[in-house]
Structure 1
Amino acid sequence: MTPDSPDAPGRPGYADVADPVTGEVRLCASLCATCIFHPGNQADLLPGRVAQMVRDARACAGHIPCHSTLDTPAPAICRGYADGPDRGASLTLRLGRALNTLIEITPPDHPVP
């Protein structure tokens, strides 16, 4: 990852899904209620936006954080992205699995606006 990568610490939109003390990587245990990977367009995103987010994440070996966890003290990787065909592109997911530090959290009941 380079400092200008979309998921680099300090960049707008960056969500640290790993606990800096324990090294645990948070992953949503299920899709949140309005996950962008549910069928349809519940989040009212522009056409092609989800595909672009996936391409951006894949391009930097990153991931997509769950939008429902972004304004919480413990952001997590989106379950829809983690279960998709691009999950192997995420360095964070691969490391969490390899080091056995991947923990599943229950997504918040109500998405953050």
Structure 2
Amino acid sequence: MQERNSMPVAEGPHPLDAADPETGVVRVCASRCSSCIFASEDDPARYPISDAERDAWTDRVAAEDGYVVCHDSGQHRPAGAPAAICHGFWVRYRRQSLMLEFIARFARTQRVDPPDRPAYPRTPDPA
């Protein structure tokens, strides 16, 4: 596992594939997870990343026609839970990314509930 722009990145061939390899159905979170990176920066449950870091990272991913897997359905997901595209990323970039537009128009999608996970602990800002 590597760290890039403060977000974990899994390694290996398609480790966080939101598409079912047998059916081709693409999973998209039906709602934000409890610690979604697209929640307000003031939300104490939000994954600890600044808006600027998130925007730089997600803008680059969208520009490269990629997608962001919900971190609660990604490498931190409970055993057996499938990876799914982050709801916040889907809503924000669906019309800006050729990949997401293609998925929205032509692929079979399945809306899945994000795993119910505890919120990430926030560390207080230094005084």
Q: Which runs of 4+ in 1 moved over 3 A?
A: 89-92
CA shift at 1:27, angstroms?
0.2
Shift in alpha-carbon separation, 1:25–1:39, aligned structure 2, 3 A: same
Pair 1:69 & 2:77 matched:
no
Secondary structure class of the residue paired with 1:26: strand
Matches within 5 A, 1:1-113: 10=12, 15-40=16-41, 42-46=46-50, 48-71=52-75, 72=77, 73-84=81-92, 86-110=93-117
TM-score for the superposition, normalised by structure 1 = 0.76
Amino acid at match of 1:52: A
Take 1:28 and 1:36, find their aligned partners in 2: how far apart are those partners? 13
* Other structure's SS at 2:111 match: strand
Number of positions where the alignment pairs a residue of Structure 1 with one of Structure 2: 104
Distance 1:29 1:77 in 2: 9
Distance in 1 between the 2:119 and 2:15 partners?
Answer: 16
* Structure 1 unaligned blocks of 5 or more: 1-6
Q: 1:93 to 1:30 in 2, by over 3 A?
A: same
Per-residue deviation at 1:95?
3.1
Q: CA offset at residue 28 of structure 1? A: 0.2
**Structure 1 vs Structure 2: percent identity of aligned residues?**
31
